Structure 1
């Protein structure tokens, strides 16, 4: 035995001797293994926008009658025929990417990297992402989410949506304070910041505008009355401390450059797939009948004798010179529908195409803020005339895409017979606000769907082929694998919120 052990020990000692200094020898002394807050930002922003754009295209647009994926097979979103596996994409993507925002925050609180600015940006981005998740699914992992690596919490609890909203608003309030206190010497890397190029003032405006979006969504809940007061504080008593978006220059947009990694996910789709989907009648009829310049400035010029150089800003294809859509929700085998007008693909070189359009990375825009104010004024929660905010929202919704368009908005709406009417009923005025807001929210993740679920506006026609008893789905299912990977928390969530079905209303949808 000794004859065996002694040579073995000698070999082990020799190997240890060979390893001496190996790590030092193979470590580059000019580089650091420590990550900086800014190193998480660019990739995290791109991933968040990418997930939102894909779900905007294949879920929101089909539900909200922007497009119709023609076909008589099962699992057609425009018929409310949902499959459970649709839940996975947004859930997996956003929760995985959330670790980047969390790591950015953790690095920004370390003494060596301390930055109030990066802490604030992280809190804003976390809230933006979590708000989309909770508005899609309802109760979700929140307070214990993304803690598996550090705290070994592998089965996080599902927080109630009410508690999530309270904390999200608190995070945005903290972000506003952090940016206010951030010294001028504390910079945000312009190359890493794909939205505002390091402009802290615009990040602050975005965070507060996002807060208004969330506050409006819960303002009708009796138990949230204090948050109505919060909105009024932001507009009046403490407005100087809560700057919000005041022009299209403040819009939160990740503009795709097409250079390097900064490529729109739409451009990665096959061109034949991108243009295969038809535009819905509800969407295109309104644009056509109101001579909306974003669809085709030439129509507007012909009618009113004006001139313009930005033709067909949204890249919509006419059919034999006309703009024609497909009715959404049609019954299987209920008509011989073929593709009509569609969004041009990038290989159609004579046309503008959303497939390569830089502004498809839409996060939040100024027009939405104006429509929020219009609704609040209509409900008596904000001083001012709602039509003033309505006009501003409609004007800036168009000029965001067509900055050279100078037609007075009231004249345009009046000539198109869609002007504000003081004699309208409350519901008619809500419809006017939300019909215009619907187009302002074009390409903004799933905000059209969220707003429809909150208000019932704009009123959508219902085809006779709708499934789910013709009821707009109120949420997505939880991913199936969650039932086995986190069974206790899943069961508690179902017990707390209601059945894991598409008609179970989330907290803010309930009276």
Structure 2
């Protein structure tokens, strides 16, 4: 027994000694020395800006009839193919684990520190921007309980009614704008939109208030007027220097590249020959035809055809769009128009978040309604169109520059017809809005649902899910049905069926 027992006892004692030693230093040994235990608000805010501007549904470029594809799968946005409808849930799935979660963390850290009032205000303003884009796509969404899984253990957040979301977002903008204090610290260089400029953040907040206030015109005109006039009084973006834009380097990691340009380039235009576009995409004929019909100088800025591999041509007469009704590659595919690599596909170009052009078009409507007396609808329309043409130089530099003479000539023949009815003028204003806000198809989609303009003709493509009409909202992710079933069921019980034709609250 002694011969065989001692080695085992010895080994056991060594093991127990080792275990005791490990247990004694367990915390030290199992703590990552490189881990961060406290959030750095500036880092989180930068990431939230990146994520908020990158979260776009590019399929809406097709829906608003800027682009299309002969490929049924890639062409969902312009064809409404039933089999691809679940792609509409992408923004919802992306937002909550990214920008919404990140902003929750920023706000948690800075909210109670009076020296960081600007950080708190700017995070609130950016949070409204991110949430407004979400609710305008889906309607009722998790809002008041959003991103509280980690902090409060709420893993099945309730969906708030869009009416309540809008009321809170507008109040948030009001409070945040008033709390901004130029004497206090800012995010500084960590803020990639304004570099911490308090005055510009205030203009951005009131511009968002103007946008969201106008959303209410069909459901609560009184509140719409109240918020629109408050926004105008507060001061909205009217100068090119104040445009809210997200800057990109265009090199290195993908996060440093304009997300729209990167997506379009990788999905369709990487070959740069006009013929082997992977997903069969081109500009849609509706968009190109309108630009040609109105002799719009932006045509050569946004559109090119390839004369040979890598050789682009912006000649006005050569631009030609592709019909959205095609199901196979047309014989003239290689000679059709597609986005200009020097502007729309430029990786280092900024992503315009809110422009002076948008402010002016909204002011034109406000003037028509009698809510704004600072300028006439015609003056606002002209200012909006001019700003929209100038902003291509912000995007593409020399390649995007449109001369003052070109702008004035365009307005001479495409000015607002003030002799027309209010509805006819609304048609002109928001058709020009459609041209001028490109490529922000998501904002145009919201404006289209509210105003009915531009008066686009739907594509009744075989196998579409809408019965030949343009859809009104996006679908919730399937994961919500499985993991948040009770809240999901309450939302659709209140709002209506979870399909693309159910109208959200303000879309009447």
Partner residue in 1 for 2:411: 413
In structure 1, the residue matched to 2:302 is 314
1:381 aligns with 2:382: no
Unaligned runs of at least 5 residues, structure 2: 1-5, 272-276, 308-312, 394-400
* Aligned twin of 1:137: 138
Q: Is the 8 A contact 2:117 2:184 kept in 1?
A: no
1:63 has 2:63 as partner: yes
Residues 1:292 and 2:289 are matched in the alignment: no
Instruction: Tell me the equivalent position of 1:169.
Output: 170
1:264 aligns with 2:262: no
Does residue 356 (structure 1) correspond to residue 363 (structure 2)? The answer is no
Equivalent residues of 1:328, 1:463 under 8 A apart = no
Q: 1:252 aligns with which of 244, 264, 269?
A: 244
| Native 8 Å contact 1:267 1:355 kept in 2 | yes
In the alignment, what sits opposite 1:299? none
What TM-score results when the alignment is normalised by the length of structure 1? 0.83
SS in 2 for 1:363: strand
What TM-score, normalized by structure 2, do the two folds share? 0.84
State the superposition RMSD in angstroms: 3.1
Q: Hey, what's the Cα distance between the residues in 2 that align with 1:252 and 1:447? A: 14
Q: Is the 8 A contact 1:158 1:489 kept in 2?
A: yes
Q: Deviations over 1:24-79 (max 9, x none)?
A: 69989999742221010222211222222xx23xx111001101112356963212
Q: 2:105 aligns with which of 96, 103, 106?
A: 103
Matched residue, 2:421: 425
How many Å separate the matches in 2 of 1:487 and 1:331? 39
In 1: Cα distance, 2:53 partner to 2:324 partner:
28
Aligned to 1:401: 392
Offset from partner CA, 1:1-32 (integer Å, 9 cap, x none): xx999996885565444565676699899997
Distance, in Å, in 1 between the alignment partners of 2:318 and 2:468 is: 27
Specify the alignment match of 2:94 in structure 1.
Answer: 93
Distance 1:274 1:175, change over 3 A: farther
Spell out, residue by residue over 1:283-314, the C-alpha distance to the aligned partner (whole angstroms, 9 max, x if none). Answer: 11222233322222xxxxxxxxxxxxxxxx32
Cα offsets for 1:122-156 (capped at 9, x unmatched): 11111111111111111111111111111111111
Q: Which residue of 1 aligns with 2:356?
A: 366
Q: Would you say the 8 A contact 1:410–1:419 is kept in 2? A: no
* Deviation, structure 1 residue 408: 7.3
SS in 1 for 2:333: coil
Deviations 1:320-352 (CA, angstroms, capped at 9, x unpaired): 853443454426579867354333575xxxxx2
Q: 1:323 to 1:102 in 2, by over 3 A?
A: farther
Contact kept, 8 Å, 1:331 with 1:464, in 2: the verdict is no
Does the Cα contact within 8 Å between 1:317 and 1:342 map onto a contact in 2? yes
The answer to whether residue 221 in structure 2 is matched with residue 234 in structure 1 is no
* Unpaired segments ≥5 residues, structure 1: 297-312, 347-351
